[in-house]
Structure 1
Amino acid sequence: MNPNTAQLLFFGVIILIVIGLMFRNGRKRQRDAASMTSGLKPGAEIMTASGIFGRITAIDEAENRITLQTGPTSELTVHRQAISRIVTPVAEDGTSLNGEPVVLEDAGADPAFGERVEPAKQSDEDATRRSGGGAAKGSGE
């Protein structure tokens, strides 16, 4: 086989691999966008691209606008494409409590403001290791 032909064949294979990876990444992005769109429902907590957190109160499909409740009395209207991620999705089974959708809560959530949390107990070995060894315990001076 001619060296030029082998080189041309090698570059052709590389180009085909790159094109295949591009198609695969495009499909993955489409799947992620579809799952994000299906998760945008009233009651879901989201984060915008600018870092604003809020709960969806209304969705206007015709105008591609989403109304967010960012505080007790404040609401923002943002474009649908400004949503970067869903923080807390709405329950899939459609359950509601007093007419409001039930939102799935994070099991490892931080404690509420002002709530006391007991610190984890330290073993004697951990305390000795953090204090700089055994010199602090048994120096006898």
Structure 2
Amino acid sequence: MNLLLFAMFALLIFMMVRKQKKTKAAAEEQRAKLAPGVEMMTNFGLFGKVISIDEAENKIVLEISPGTTATVHRQTVAKIIAPEEVTAVVPDDASSLTLGKNEQAEETPEESIERLNNENNKDN
């Protein structure tokens, strides 16, 4: 019984140390990504671009809108927002502009009128 209790206690301590290492590694990674020009979000939901970082005072100056800055503590950084790359797929030929085998052409004006009349008759 004592051996089982000791094993559970050791497992608990191991899990706590492991979690601390992961948290520390995540903080280091975030600290490495933090630089002027990076978009970030604070713990209280303020989004902005990093203008400057004061290492001695642990302060970050954020530009929250053009011409408006806010100074926040370095520990308020919740996440670094990675810029999304927009990849536009441009076909190299005009084949995508034509209808495929399974696609239908748009209906003619006469077919549209007939369809709408049939839909109206169903309601009555």
State TM-score, norm by structure 1: 0.60
Displaced runs of 4 or more, over 6 A: none
* Residue 108 to residue 21, structure 1, CA distance change in 2 (3 Å): farther
The residue that corresponds to 1:48 in the other structure is 42
Judging by fraction of residues, say which structure has more helix. Answer: 2
**Equivalent-residue separation in structure 2 for 1:30 and 1:57 (angstroms):** 25
CA distance in structure 1 between the partners assigned to 2:22 and 2:69 by the alignment: 33
What's the offset of the Cα at 1:107?
2.9
RMSD value, Cα: 2.4
Cα deviation for residue 108 of structure 1 reads 5.7
Matched to 2:19, the amino acid is N
Structure 1 position 9, deviation (Å) = 0.7
Where structure 2 has 5 or more consecutive residues not aligned to the other structure, the ranges are 88-102, 105-117
Query: What code does the residue aligned with 1:57 have?
Result: I
User: By how many angstroms is 1:31 displaced?
Assistant: 0.3
Q: Secondary structure at the match of 1:27?
A: helix
Q: 1:13 aligns with which of 7, 11, 15?
A: 7
SS of 2:56's equivalent in the other structure is: coil
Structure 2 residue 53 is the aligned partner of structure 1 residue 75: no
Q: Deviations over 1:52-85 (max 9, x none)?
A: 0000000011110000000011000000001111
Q: Secondary structure at the match of 1:32?
A: helix
User: Counterpart of 2:84 in structure 1: which amino acid?
Assistant: D
Give the count of matched residue pairs. Answer: 93
One-letter amino acid of the counterpart of residue 18, structure 1: L
Counterpart residue identity of residue 52, structure 2: A
How far apart are residue 34 of structure 1 and its match?
Answer: 0.4
Structure 1, unaligned stretches of length 5 or more? 1-6, 89-104, 110-122, 125-136
Q: Which residue number in structure 2 is paired with residue 107 of structure 1?
A: 85
Q: Is 1:26–2:4 an aligned residue pair?
A: no
C-alpha displacement of 1:30: 0.6
Give the aligned partner of residue 99 of structure 1.
none
Say yes or no: does 1:38 pair with 2:32: yes
Q: Which structure's CA Rg is the greater one?
A: 2
